[in-house]
Structure 1
């Protein structure tokens, strides 16, 4: 039986034309695969040192047609894994042969600074990786197993990744990127060690190439925002993955990454407003900016260094998320920036002052220029956020806020002008006297002190803690009517008066294990804290409520007050192990006349009746 000759481009075109008449995607794939098997597999694999011109020019297009159709079937959920997996061992030598030649051509392009590449092979490699890793290793994926077990495939991909950025001043095209959007996190992690090996075993050198790729990608004539976002995602993934070999060099992020993210945002502002991926990329950049600041060992110093850029960047980047087609509604990302990122920084007083200056400058009229309705609405959204925090900062001093003795068995509160002792190890724990300090050390503090020492350089100042606490307090007061009308609030008390609902949380445990028992208040979410407060009004909560009533009665015998145990979580990094937990008691007077004076902000109301926050203790949460 005669063996078919290897296909040239015209033969492949005819094969592809005939396959288009088959409407079923799976049948079309099997037809293309049969053509490959009949025309290519009978021939011996190519010799590694052979010239490309030794073989007809239709082999790559035919392989591309097979892989493209296979990718379509995988996306549609068609079962083609067995057929493709059986044919792959014969396809891989040809793909490897042409990919290696494409690498050599790419290196010549880099050296000559001339775009002379034929990108068919790079597209083929990308589609192949996308097909094999589309489902990752979830739900035992045979194609992913093929990707992992193919000898030399990951090494080739790592080499292609390096080819794009090593010894090059300009990244001409991202089509050679071997980290497409469909690449699963697991597959990307598998490539990390291969990339390091290709760099001579230097993880630091390999990690430095990640931001270099991003910068080179920005300098393209027509950068692809989707793929640029993916590059940032790759960086962020390895920064958050402790097991990644890149992690030690990306966490904490160097301050240079702030400049990188800032440059990307500035560049985004220069793009046409119709670019749909701008808001997504802007939010990724701000995630990195916040990570740099919150992971910096000296938190306050990092803010002081960066504060002159942050308010302006926050405001400008929020425009990237506006919807030109609907001027009355902003994207979710816009609200994210102004409602969450902005307040996150404004808890630092110097930034609050600068944001107020920015707000005043933005509102100044520009000669011979009338702002659009979208611009005016956006300015108002920005200034409202600044005004809200400024108002709270001014108002918080009228509330009683003090630090309590860290010994939880003590009721003493730090009085104005009478400062408590502090633990010399962590500097955070406070005590009314040496007796309480010794008692607390013998209890739990000796186990927590070392963990708390890690927090003393990243913790906000006392004034900022009080500001945060009273911001929470303002939220509760402003929304008191919601609690008054809640189910628990409507239940009559034994004395005939209606009290505020009792909020039940896990207070005794230093490290809460049940998230439903924790009132988590991230600094970035101070505007929406009340939305996450659960009211325990279900029948199965009765035992917990009774236990809390007894505990509160023992701790605070004043029957006219209701005390809320609150665990405030202050995040200083992306991982759960980097969270600072402070436990506080929020005490509120529940008599009707006190409630009315609070709701109307009556300045003549008795200071003793105003709500107060007592900071009970600090802890360092060990993430699971």
Structure 2
């Protein structure tokens, strides 16, 4: 057998033929006649691992079963498969027993180990996983000659389960002694088996897809951290495994049908993971890491931003995103390597555009202010499309930051009780949110019950109905801000911009004396906002800027536009108006909608902020909630 393994065959096909002869002549008879039920000795394990390695490689690089040197021997491999599978299981069991020994000499605080025996056992694990993937068709084309053998291996009990277990155990191994050989199961040539393996991975996690999603991110972190604890790696292999695991997460994010998609979207450490990847790659021992790794990390963050809440953008700003861009620019890449940074540059440009688009969100605006020194440095150093996006971010943010400083001095506008006959506002009492719509405010249960009977029943049900419809179609769209601080900031923007154009306030009424139109403020436009009027009477009115008024909303709004006191002096004959706000989301193809119900003294145009009182601000697009029967109760107080 040693002579077979050391043979200098002139061609890969002849080499594989000799290895197959070795299986048939030596290993098959030994398997049948010897007692192999006990622990596999190290010497025998090394020999079998070497035979497996030569069977699946035989001097070839990234070739599969369809390679001419292999396909001519497919029938003999089919005959040998039962024996090969026995020894794969034996090798895997041996590695499972020595894994704790490897862990004892690897990890934080340990010097990289160089024990030959332990190194051999670790390499043996790579061979086991690589062999399974090879026999399942990795790097192979499915054709008449390979289909039968691939199906035989795939249908063998325990094969897919072993790969799923390897993937899980690699991620749970916080000292990374196993490496990440199973990352290759995400290769496109494995598409016939990887969905089944993914289902087994989810089933093998106690917390299901949530744990599987966390493990997918943990694998990425550990792949880089293990370089600090172990030695003797082929860096190309490390980068390839990292690229595959990053690509797997990115692919899961792009496909909502993936069992990991929603769990990844909800993971609060998602952005941090991929920014950390880029930070690690910028530190020793990495001198010129593959440019495509930076591109993959940036694209993955961009995909996450498009499908997650504004928290994703805030997470990006809480980590050294702009500093990473600056440091990547300074890497001494060749012209060819710099060309491969195109995906990174494009995605960073798109991410910056999303940050700029979302600068209206108060938490994001505050984070932008903290990042402005880094933005200024980048403007000086970058070329191409990035400087333009950075300048837009700087100019638009500076305008909003000045407004925000004024907001901190002025305070938010006055919010009033939702009962149209009540004079109380948040200036003189505590207001509580309706537990149904979560947005209309009341000073007491008495006011809430009175308004429920007179009006709010229709409006509240309409809000929740809209949420259910929108929730089923906008599952990939960012949440609109609904916290009290965010709504107070939004109310300040609306009233501030309304005071600039009081002549645009609706004035036409129907025969009953009710207003027939509403003001639209489009904050996606360059004007921020563009203002125009739309009628309330249309059953499905699509206004410029993407604002849509459905029949149920139109009816509910018209009922809301009746005379109400809302904290004003009754002698001033308060006027009630509705303002529809179109709001930018992380996805450029989507628009968020708010409707604000405002009152002001009708005997004079509103001139100062205190002239305008806010009854409620309704988010049209949000995830659906089940509405319980009967009357909602007063819930949490609105924060000041």
Question: What is the TM-score of this pair, normalised by structure 2?
Answer: 0.54
Structure 1 residues 283 and 618, CA gap change in structure 2 (3 angstroms): same
Q: Give deviations 1:429-486, integer Å, cap 9, x for gaps.
A: 258975543345533636977999x9997566223334787996244464999x99xx
Aligned position for 1:428:
439
- Residues 272 and 319 in structure 2, CA contact (< 8 A), matched pair in contact too: no
Tell me the distance in 2 between the aligned counterparts of 1:441 and 1:548: 13
Tell me the distance in 2 between the aligned counterparts of 1:41 and 1:95: 13
Q: Does 1:154 align with 2:154?
A: no
SS at match of 2:175: coil
Q: Does 1:16 align with 2:12?
A: yes
Q: Does 1:268 align with 2:270?
A: no
Structure 1 residues 321 and 335, CA gap change in structure 2 (3 angstroms): farther
Structure 1 residues 565 and 205, CA gap change in structure 2 (3 angstroms): closer
- Residues 440 and 616 in structure 2, CA contact (< 8 A), matched pair in contact too: no
Cα drift, residue 45 of structure 1: 5.3
Tell me the distance in 1 between the aligned counterparts of 2:104 and 2:219: 17
Aligned position for 2:522:
473
Q: CA RMSD in A?
A: 6.9
Aligned position for 2:394:
386
Structure 1 residues 554 and 180, CA gap change in structure 2 (3 angstroms): closer
Aligned position for 1:599:
none
Tell me the distance in 1 between the aligned counterparts of 2:491 and 2:584: 14
Q: 1:443 aligned to 444, 448, 458, which one?
A: 458
Cα drift, residue 157 of structure 1: 2.3
Q: Does 1:584 align with 2:570?
A: no
Q: Pairwise mapping of residues 387-406 of structure 1 onto structure 2 (< 5 A)?
A: 387-392=395-400
Q: 2:296 aligned to 277, 280, 289, which one?
A: 280
Aligned position for 1:123:
130
Q: 2:488 aligned to 456, 459, 463, which one?
A: 463
Q: 1:359 aligned to 369, 372, 383, which one?
A: 372
Q: Pairwise mapping of residues 334-373 of structure 1 onto structure 2 (< 5 A)?
A: 334-341=348-355, 343-344=357-358, 347-348=361-362, 351-356=364-369, 358-360=371-373, 363=376, 372=381
Aligned position for 2:333:
none
Tell me the distance in 2 between the aligned counterparts of 1:564 and 1:616: 9
Q: Give deviations 1:213-258, integer Å, cap 9, x for gaps.
A: 333211226383453354456668599989969988x785356x66
Structure 1 residues 287 and 565, CA gap change in structure 2 (3 angstroms): same
Q: Pairwise mapping of residues 402-421 of structure 1 onto structure 2 (< 5 A)?
A: none
Aligned position for 1:525:
none
- Residues 220 and 242 in structure 2, CA contact (< 8 A), matched pair in contact too: yes
Tell me the distance in 2 between the aligned counterparts of 1:152 and 1:239: 30
Aligned position for 2:200:
190
Cα drift, residue 278 of structure 1: 0.8
- Residues 91 and 128 in structure 2, CA contact (< 8 A), matched pair in contact too: yes
Q: 1:92 aligned to 82, 85, 91, which one?
A: 85
Tell me the distance in 2 between the aligned counterparts of 1:163 and 1:331: 35
SS at match of 1:131: coil
Tell me the distance in 2 between the aligned counterparts of 1:95 and 1:242: 33
Q: Pairwise mapping of residues 77-226 of structure 1 onto structure 2 (< 5 A)?
A: 91-101=84-94, 103=96, 108-112=101-105, 113-114=113-114, 115-116=119-120, 117-118=123-124, 119-128=126-135, 131=138, 149-161=155-167, 164=170, 169-171=175-177, 173-175=179-181, 177=183, 179-182=185-188, 184-194=194-204, 212-219=218-225, 220=227, 222=235, 224-226=238-240
Tell me the distance in 2 between the aligned counterparts of 1:63 and 1:364: 51
- Residues 135 and 153 in structure 2, CA contact (< 8 A), matched pair in contact too: no
Q: Does 1:332 align with 2:381?
A: no
SS at match of 2:320: helix
Structure 1 residues 127 and 430, CA gap change in structure 2 (3 angstroms): farther
SS at match of 1:127: helix
Cα drift, residue 388 of structure 1: 1.1
SS at match of 1:461: helix
Cα drift, residue 8 of structure 1: 3.2
Cα drift, residue 340 of structure 1: 0.9
Tell me the distance in 1 between the aligned counterparts of 2:373 and 2:556: 50
SS at match of 1:272: coil
Structure 1 residues 82 and 316, CA gap change in structure 2 (3 angstroms): farther
- Residues 170 and 216 in structure 1, CA contact (< 8 A), matched pair in contact too: yes
Structure 1 residues 244 and 552, CA gap change in structure 2 (3 angstroms): closer
- Residues 431 and 441 in structure 2, CA contact (< 8 A), matched pair in contact too: yes
- Residues 9 and 56 in structure 1, CA contact (< 8 A), matched pair in contact too: no
Tell me the distance in 1 between the aligned counterparts of 2:78 and 2:537: 57
SS at match of 2:595: strand
Give ranges in structure 2 of 5+ residues lacking alignment: 106-112, 228-232, 330-336, 408-412, 469-478, 498-520, 563-577, 599-606, 609-613, 627-640
Structure 1 residues 290 and 245, CA gap change in structure 2 (3 angstroms): closer
- Residues 171 and 217 in structure 1, CA contact (< 8 A), matched pair in contact too: no
Structure 1 residues 459 and 134, CA gap change in structure 2 (3 angstroms): farther
SS at match of 2:288: coil
Tell me the distance in 1 between the aligned counterparts of 2:292 and 2:381: 21
Question: What is the TM-score of this pair, normalised by structure 1?
Answer: 0.55
Structure 1 residues 163 and 211, CA gap change in structure 2 (3 angstroms): same
Tell me the distance in 2 between the aligned counterparts of 1:534 and 1:289: 23
Structure 1 residues 269 and 552, CA gap change in structure 2 (3 angstroms): same
SS at match of 2:291: coil
Aligned residue pairs total 503
Give ranges in structure 1 of 5+ residues lacking alignment: 21-30, 136-140, 297-301, 485-498, 508-516, 520-528, 536-543, 558-562, 588-605, 608-612
Aligned position for 1:622:
624
- Residues 168 and 201 in structure 2, CA contact (< 8 A), matched pair in contact too: no
Of 204-213 and 238-247, more deviation after overlay is shown by: 238-247
